[in-house]
Structure 1
């Protein structure tokens, strides 16, 4: 997911990238409308894993983790503001209908991290749901038309960044609703120990949210990433449930084909995937910085040769993957390799 998102960030600036995969303006969904919500869903999954890891006590570690969470909030906000500053200095144009004039996804992630610090699990579930439902009510009462209107007051910080500020409440709803789905799957211990039952639970959850999306579309209209309404939230969660279900099924099939007599199969993860999984935020940051660098030295839309466009994209992807791989090796060079614990799968007879 992160590799695909990183490639799409730069590829969108080239003519070789199909326009239909670009971010939608007001309503509907495309490939580039998925990445942000998937990142938030992954944050919720990580939060659950951290607070429920068998060998750790969430209550014991919460007080120690709070300063770390707050520092992450400050770092994310700093990255977001620096990104906007450099975009202004180098006159890097970006669409204001995504998050506004001065807002970006790093700032959204920063405030989302602040929310999870103030309302840690499990309090983030009811608070997130209440915020989401209240936000959808406000959309129905006129907030939606205010967000989607064409004119923008650049001197009014709230109006200039209304998409980023308002969609934050939608992403908080994504976070809280995802934790509900995770608790449902956790009934069969499907987070730490994938099994056929957990695959079924993920698929059931995905189907439930998909039909919920269809129902909400009849009530609230089409999904919209720009305002992060309920139909968009349910669409993203249902998609992620299906993806996780299929991935767990692949893991289980890998166990069955390993010819191991043990019911537990500890598979060593691919080094690149482990590197990205362990440094998601850094990978996303490097991808954004690399995209800005490429756009500052090359006028991407003037590159008409398809082979040259593909060469630039391959070199870009290779460069950011190599950086994150070397970074991961450098930071874990003294640690023994024990495989990826997330790939430990238990098959139920």
Structure 2
């Protein structure tokens, strides 16, 4: 890439101020709604599509799960609320129409006591959240390079928040809520349950810290791929003179180094401090970092360097944004682990899930109040610093999104149980990748797949991304770079840009589904 083109593109994404939180929440709310929208569309057209042509269903997946968000932040940005209302209308119409039809299965013939109904399956709303983070990121990292993508949605330079400012925070939280430290709560819960039933548990025998006796070695092993990818990206971008927004991470630092650093630091912390204190330690680190930023002029160092001239001399000064922001992201990661410990606890009662739903919205309101208070009293939200206002903002944002995904899944579960949705086409999946629902006495159970299903694969987009989440993200990065190298994206008109973006997300999704159909998993560590 020639220098003039690189400088022009860097300027195109620099010195921006972001948009409002309400707008960001409105745009991202389309993602959980898209999942229910897909199921309602399938309920309207019937289930023949599921049994015959799986590649037609894949195209339907892309249209229902990817295009609404893509359109809302590009050509339909000024009319995103129209898109939102249209999808809700189709969902409501589908439900009302299905109520007029005979039930698809025998579940609805039974008298269901929803107050005492047990859901003996782990809901997948956390998986949906993590997958949608990948899809939104894949769309945004290329769309931002075109004029069709509103500048207010791009990353804010220092203070403020655009749509893309949630990207790294969402990835950190998506990793935290399913981290080994968070999943440890399930192990302890199951161990207590098996002990109460008189069963022996041979896994992780010994004291409570046994699963983490070699945590540092395991952590190093898990972060090595991230380090290798980060180094590879650094070499590749430097070699082709690729565009670089220096004030985002620094000269050499990148997103993969940040993820690797916080995972390593968290493992070191848990060697000394009990996992049960992860949330408290995370909050303390965030507060300490915020005090250092505001009271000890660390923010001036991050903005202008150690000598105040804005120079990039030395490895630390050259990458000061990436290095210092790791402290804020570490705070976010540790608090995210605490949230994961609560969300991953096995819950079998539908009533208890409804209580979780109410708890989430209450916690979310409290977090938004804390975000406003911290931003007014100390410092506005800044992704560049990853300050405590940003940490609280991301936690509030995640709580809202988790609430939305859980709400959508509970709605889907209810209408599947009552026979209005087809149990053979579960939410965001099919009967191959997601076991079907069956009511037995007072329990809602997942029926086991038969031998033919176990030997088959499907072309469901969510199942494919869930198998290869890192692979999907890397593929999107590679294809984004290829598009940028093949054309000057700033000069592309809006219609052509929209066509390119649709073709791009279809191609990325198609490749990842082909890998899934052929049972190829890119995670090799």
Match in the other structure for 2:403: 245
Deviations 1:156-185, CA, capped at 9 Å, x for gaps:
111111110111100011112223444555
Match in the other structure for 1:264: 444
- Any conservation in 2 of the 1:276–1:324 contact (CA below 8 Å)? yes
More divergent stretch after superposition (177-186 vs 100-109): 177-186
Distance 1:131 1:265, change over 3 A: same
CA distance in 2, matches of 1:193, 1:72: 38
CA distance in 1, matches of 2:292, 2:346: 37
Deviations 1:240-264, CA, capped at 9 Å, x for gaps:
1011112111111112111264543
Alignment match of 2:185 (pick from 39, 43, 52): 52
TM-score (norm 2): 0.58
Alignment match of 1:146 (pick from 272, 277, 301): 301
- Any conservation in 2 of the 1:152–1:160 contact (CA below 8 Å)? no
Q: CA deviation at 1:212?
A: 0.8
Distance 1:197 1:188, change over 3 A: farther
- Any conservation in 1 of the 2:230–2:257 contact (CA below 8 Å)? yes
CA distance in 2, matches of 1:152, 1:163: 12
CA distance in 1, matches of 2:486, 2:351: 47
CA distance in 2, matches of 1:261, 1:6: 38
Match in the other structure for 2:260: 110
Q: Higher relative contact order by CA 8 Å / sep ≥ 6: 1 or 2?
A: 2
- Any conservation in 1 of the 2:185–2:345 contact (CA below 8 Å)? no
Matched, 1:119 2:119: no
Match in the other structure for 1:169: 327
- Any conservation in 2 of the 1:112–1:172 contact (CA below 8 Å)? yes
Q: CA deviation at 1:18?
A: 0.8
Give RMSD over aligned pairs.
2.9
Alignment of 1:327-342 (within 5 A): 327-331=515-519
Which protein has the larger Cα radius of gyration, Structure 1 or Structure 2? 2
Match in the other structure for 2:219: 69
CA distance in 1, matches of 2:142, 2:163: 14
Match in the other structure for 1:347: none
Q: CA deviation at 1:45?
A: 0.8
Matched, 1:133 2:287: yes
Distance 1:221 1:33, change over 3 A: same
Question: Structure 2 regions of 5+ residues with no counterpart?
Answer: 1-132, 192-202, 419-437, 450-457
